[in-house]
Amino acid sequence: MKRTLVIGDIHGGFKALIQVLERAKVTADDQLIFLGDYVDGWSESSQIIKFLMELSKTQDCIFIKGNHDAWCEDWFLSGEKADAWLFNGGRKTVESYETYSLEDLEKHLEFVQRMRNYYVDDQNRLFIHAGYSSMHGPEKEMYMSNYRWDRTLWETAVAMDKKLTKNSELYPKRLLLFKEIFIGHTSTTELGITYPLNKANIWNLDTGAAYTGPLSIMDVETKEFWQSDPLTSLYPDERGRN
């Protein structure tokens, strides 16, 4: 039976990606939705992009662009390495591309440029890397950077009074626009959690793979999920974004 599986932030952890695909027993019939931040942190960013380019030829895949992917895209385009990017994991990404030809870099650039800002499925479920600020939804967002950087959507859900009902005037209007929202970007480890976390109608799939947590993949229908080993155990000689 076809499943829709959503994958959280990977951050250069290719070994973790392979683990979760195997543990979830992904088949060619499954749809895979990646929430972004494929690069920056662990040492195999370029290997991840290369793998996903090949995977998309045989698998139904949707690739959302994260803020780290946008940083990498800027480097591909300009050759300039922003200090903020290098400090936040970009250095390992640059190192992973040291042996790549200009032709291969161009192909990877084209792949990143084709990534989506967000995706809404036929059941009105939104998949986005970070969030949006517009009360009218992401399609009315004034600043595209919010798709990749906004944390207010998640912070709103976390801070909500659990007793609020959807017909309350105090219920956040942004959350009423979609049946469910799936995000990454803000690690659940900030709340001491290392598994996919649900607040209001938002599911956060960033379970800290950039740091000490695992990578997660989840069935959007059943909410069953599978996880890799902690990235620190898969890359014991590296620091990731720690």
* Full pLDDT tens readout for the chain, 242 residues: 799 999 999 999 999 999 999 999 999 999 999 999 999 999 999 999 999 999 999 999 999 999 999 999 999 999 999 999 999 999 999 999 999 999 999 999 999 999 999 999 999 999 999 999 999 999 999 999 999 999 999 999 999 999 999 999 999 999 999 999 999 999 999 999 999 999 999 999 999 999 999 999 999 999 999 999 999 999 999 999 99
Cα distance between residue 109 and residue 79, in whole Å: 12
Strands (E), the chain: 4-7, 31-34, 60-63, 118-120, 125-128, 180-183, 197-199, 202-204, 216-219, 225-227
CATH homologous superfamily, domain 4-232: Metallo-dependent phosphatases (3.60.21.10)
From first CA to last CA, the distance across the chain in angstroms is 39
Could you tell me the residue ranges of all domains in the chain? 4-232
In this prediction the pTM is: 0.98
Is residue 19 helix, strand or coil? helix
Cα distance between residue 214 and residue 88, in whole Å: 19
